[in-house]
Structure 1
């Protein structure tokens, strides 16, 4: 609910503070008094597109502050949360327009964009009038309005779920088709590469082992000659034989040397053991240096083949096995591709069918709701002196989407047999206002927490028709809030709260203000609306009769 509006230095408004109430709030005043300026200022703080020049002459900037009460569950809470703005039971919108045209907005004292303001305004205010292109006259919103009237959320949810499933199935199929097409481009390469790598069958670490073995074999002949010479020098014909002979000779005479040879014999024994180990090690090395000349050739061929494969595929030699696994998997996917595609196509056909069935059920529900809405609007048009007019909700085929396959448009024919067409193009000013009011009365139960503003929606009607308009506005305001700018005394008399818009001239300065009316002032204002500038006793009597209901 709109609780208050404060306006400073906007057009011909110097400073204005208004406190609105629940129920039907009416604003009256002479033509040109500034009623449209008030709505322009409210639209400015809500981020609506409007006049380019709003700052009052002589002022540096204009400012509008609007305060709303937000009950639990109000749609504005979601907008605030998504935008990361402070949230609570009170919403304060503030927007400033500087002389150079810059506009700055705050929501609960936090800077925000005009886009966020407009998103909030969609949950806070509905403006209805002859130039209403944001609400009921906008065909883009007619389907949502019909759905709210029809109240079939389960069917809508089913369609959205089916649409998501169908979209996912279509995306999966497209992805698989693209992947398979890419793989087929390299089928020959894959088959050749996999066959080549399978035959090569490289092992991790094999390159290093082959390279080490190759280098050892390349230098083995030279090493073996020196090792053989060393073995001869150390063996039985060399050091080992001589040391053995010396050890036997010393041990043979040690018992007659009075212990003088014990220490040398022990040392020589240790040396002989070490020498034996050395000889054994050299013999082993010499055995390992024995190789088949063809082994070097085979080792080099294997090593060069592994390195060539690594260069060809641009990987390390140790990664050739993993590469082979990857290529093998891609080749398997290619071989299985047609079967996978057929499975995905079957899943898409099933998803398409499920979506078509869900969309058909929603279409049927919309058609039934359209019939009920047309009847409800027709019932409202009769008291508004438009009993011969025809309101028709047209449902035509649209591109499939998450909301179904239906395009909805509200059309009217002002007389039986006349062609029907869009509301904004067929109805005259007064007829359009009454169409909008009748439609809004029928749709009002589907929207909570929104302040409705009707801008001279009673233009062109009077007498009993104006009274019918006022009573429907009052009915809309029950349990909610309606603001109506009106020139009709019948409508004004039905308001729960009444303000008068006044223009004042002080020297060369013209200002507009809005004042709340006491019961006595209200009688005079309605009398003025009845009789014009000259208020007569008869006009006051008529005003009192209207107020008495």
Structure 2
């Protein structure tokens, strides 16, 4: 949920800090007090379009910060992992600054990110729904995903089985397309591959050959220094009054001493070991000296070979291993092109086999989806009836592919062969139309709340914000909307700007937004209301202007009714 919200120098807001809680928080106040400005700030925090007009007059920049808490398994964890953003203790800090020039600086847990990334992460945390805004539920391209979320664990395995085959199908399709290019292109491609393969094969490369050549080159280039060092080392060990003589003398004397004092035995053994090791090393140096030979012609051969290898590296890989692997890859492609017709036939047979299996999986996925579509339809009808839309008809419409497997294969998509769209008819005798074509503001509000009530259980959104979605309704419909907004808040934190006293009464927390002019500047205030103050504010919302004993009594009745409803809401 959104735990803390901080706003500075934003529109008419000088400085504002809000501590928010779970459940339903309602924001009320006079028109123009700044309620929607707070929602605008939240939208910018999660990647909304910014503008220099949001910066408070006379200030350099507007600053918005929000702290969110999420549970393990929340979609935000996977999204942040993909983006390389760490989440500790289930807390996410979003920050956005907007300068006077309109430029934005966005950060997630202190890491500087683009607005696009902020929007991706923000979409998993907050869903803002306003009266006239296009949201996920009003986007027909998202309806299939919403149905799959609703279907839960039964649709997921069917979709996974389909997706696995679909990836295999696509891989075969790509191979066939590549081999089905025109003959002239294939001939040119074959000539190029054959040239590359022959060039690598003629080089007769050996793994680690370049490293060995570089070592040999180093010995030849530094021959004099190497010979001098080895000779000096050998002369220091061998000869009269040299290292081995003195070590042998020490060994002989310590052996005599150890015969007298047994505690010297380990020292005697150590010196003896050292003598034999030095003697062995001396012999090794001697053999290396005898083997040393300076050959200027060999140095030229090495240089030529290294140049050849480096030329191949520039073309085919950073190492001999990569060059050899490249050669193996193009050899397979040469084989495929050379035997193109038979390869295409084999691939087409494989595709036909996969297509049959894929069609079966697609049919199974569609069948499971249609089962859950009917269950979703029944649930939405129940929700709409509770919102006094008894005559409304909802349908999950399938634009599915028809025909045989061969006819359907061009319709295979990543998520199946189904194209799903929500349709609705709000009045008897009217045909079903796409949900996105519904025009009445009051109807949109109720339909959206019906859908939100269901999908809030499945979407995993941390917070949902309703910005005056109750516009255009009153009476019993207003009470029904209040109950639905509260039902959504049972599964997700809900912030709601409302002018309906019924919504204010059923909230878990009531914030009153007001403004004042101080030193010729407008300042917005947010005041959490206690029970007595809530009665006054709800009474004002009922009467519009004058608070009377009757409106106060009505406000208390609404609060009592809300308490009763909340006790029975699951």
Query: 1:41, 1:90 → 2: CA distance?
Result: 20
Cα shift at 1:7: 0.4
For the structure 1 residues 397 and 331, does the alpha-carbon distance in structure 2 shift closer, same or farther, using more than 3 Å as the test? closer
Cα shift at 1:511: 2.2
Query: 2:457, 2:330 → 1: CA distance?
Result: 64
Per the alignment, residue 109 of structure 1 pairs with: 110
For the structure 1 residues 335 and 14, does the alpha-carbon distance in structure 2 shift closer, same or farther, using more than 3 Å as the test? closer
For the structure 1 residues 337 and 520, does the alpha-carbon distance in structure 2 shift closer, same or farther, using more than 3 Å as the test? same
Query: 2:41, 2:513 → 1: CA distance?
Result: 14
Query: 2:329, 2:27 → 1: CA distance?
Result: 77
Picking from 479, 482, 496, the partner of 1:484 is 496
Cα shift at 1:361: 1.6
Query: 1:186, 1:481 → 2: CA distance?
Result: 60
CA contact (8 A) 2:52 2:98 kept: no
Per the alignment, residue 389 of structure 2 pairs with: 386
CA contact (8 A) 2:66 2:93 kept: yes
Query: 1:531, 1:138 → 2: CA distance?
Result: 38
Per the alignment, residue 263 of structure 1 pairs with: none
Per the alignment, residue 249 of structure 2 pairs with: none
Once the two structures are superposed, residues 263-282 of structure 1 have per-residue CA deviations (whole angstroms, 9 ceiling, x without a partner) of xxxxxxxxxxxxxxxxxxxx
Quick check: 1:72 aligned with 2:72?
yes
CA contact (8 A) 1:3 1:69 kept: yes
Picking from 448, 459, 478, the partner of 1:447 is 459
Picking from 407, 425, 434, the partner of 1:422 is 434
Cα shift at 1:502: 0.9
Quick check: 1:433 aligned with 2:445?
yes
CA contact (8 A) 2:510 2:528 kept: yes
Q: Please, which moves more after superposition, 92-101 or 414-423? A: 414-423
For the structure 1 residues 512 and 424, does the alpha-carbon distance in structure 2 shift closer, same or farther, using more than 3 Å as the test? farther
Once the two structures are superposed, residues 151-179 of structure 1 have per-residue CA deviations (whole angstroms, 9 ceiling, x without a partner) of 21011111211210100111222334459
For the structure 1 residues 336 and 373, does the alpha-carbon distance in structure 2 shift closer, same or farther, using more than 3 Å as the test? same
Per the alignment, residue 17 of structure 1 pairs with: 17
Per the alignment, residue 406 of structure 2 pairs with: none
SS of residue matched to 1:401: coil
Once the two structures are superposed, residues 246-295 of structure 1 have per-residue CA deviations (whole angstroms, 9 ceiling, x without a partner) of xxxxxxxxxxxxxxxxxxxxxxxxxxxxxxxxxxxxxxxxxxxxxxxxxx
Listed as ranges, the matches of 1:394-409 within 5 Å are 394-397=397-400, 399-409=411-421
For the structure 1 residues 479 and 148, does the alpha-carbon distance in structure 2 shift closer, same or farther, using more than 3 Å as the test? closer
The gaps in structure 2 that reach 5 residues or longer are 205-327, 402-410, 562-570
Per the alignment, residue 207 of structure 2 pairs with: none
Listed as ranges, the matches of 1:88-487 within 5 Å are 88=88, 89-151=90-152, 152-178=155-181, 336-397=339-400, 399-487=411-499
Query: 1:329, 1:453 → 2: CA distance?
Result: 57
SS of residue matched to 1:503: strand
The gaps in structure 1 that reach 5 residues or longer are 191-196, 205-324
Cα shift at 1:358: 1.4
SS of residue matched to 2:18: strand
Query: 2:329, 2:101 → 1: CA distance?
Result: 65
For the structure 1 residues 80 and 332, does the alpha-carbon distance in structure 2 shift closer, same or farther, using more than 3 Å as the test? closer
| Matched residues, number | 419
SS of residue matched to 2:533: helix
Once the two structures are superposed, residues 40-79 of structure 1 have per-residue CA deviations (whole angstroms, 9 ceiling, x without a partner) of 1111111112555100111111100011002111111122
Query: 1:400, 1:345 → 2: CA distance?
Result: 16
Query: 2:176, 2:189 → 1: CA distance?
Result: 20
CA contact (8 A) 1:392 1:410 kept: yes
Query: 1:20, 1:332 → 2: CA distance?
Result: 66
SS of residue matched to 2:437: helix
Once the two structures are superposed, residues 372-401 of structure 1 have per-residue CA deviations (whole angstroms, 9 ceiling, x without a partner) of 212211111112121112222211137431
CA contact (8 A) 2:106 2:115 kept: yes
SS of residue matched to 1:514: strand
Query: 1:161, 1:330 → 2: CA distance?
Result: 25
For the structure 1 residues 355 and 181, does the alpha-carbon distance in structure 2 shift closer, same or farther, using more than 3 Å as the test? farther
Query: 1:186, 1:40 → 2: CA distance?
Result: 57
CA contact (8 A) 1:23 1:482 kept: yes
Query: 2:57, 2:447 → 1: CA distance?
Result: 39
Quick check: 1:531 aligned with 2:543?
yes
SS of residue matched to 2:546: coil
CA contact (8 A) 2:64 2:96 kept: yes
Query: 1:107, 1:326 → 2: CA distance?
Result: 43
Cα shift at 1:336: 4.1
Per the alignment, residue 505 of structure 1 pairs with: 517
SS of residue matched to 2:8: strand
Once the two structures are superposed, residues 66-107 of structure 1 have per-residue CA deviations (whole angstroms, 9 ceiling, x without a partner) of 110021111111222222223112111111111111111111
CA contact (8 A) 1:453 1:482 kept: yes
Once the two structures are superposed, residues 494-543 of structure 1 have per-residue CA deviations (whole angstroms, 9 ceiling, x without a partner) of 00111011122235322222211111111111111111121111111111
Q: State TM-score, norm by structure 2.
A: 0.69
Per the alignment, residue 291 of structure 2 pairs with: none
Quick check: 1:36 aligned with 2:49?
no
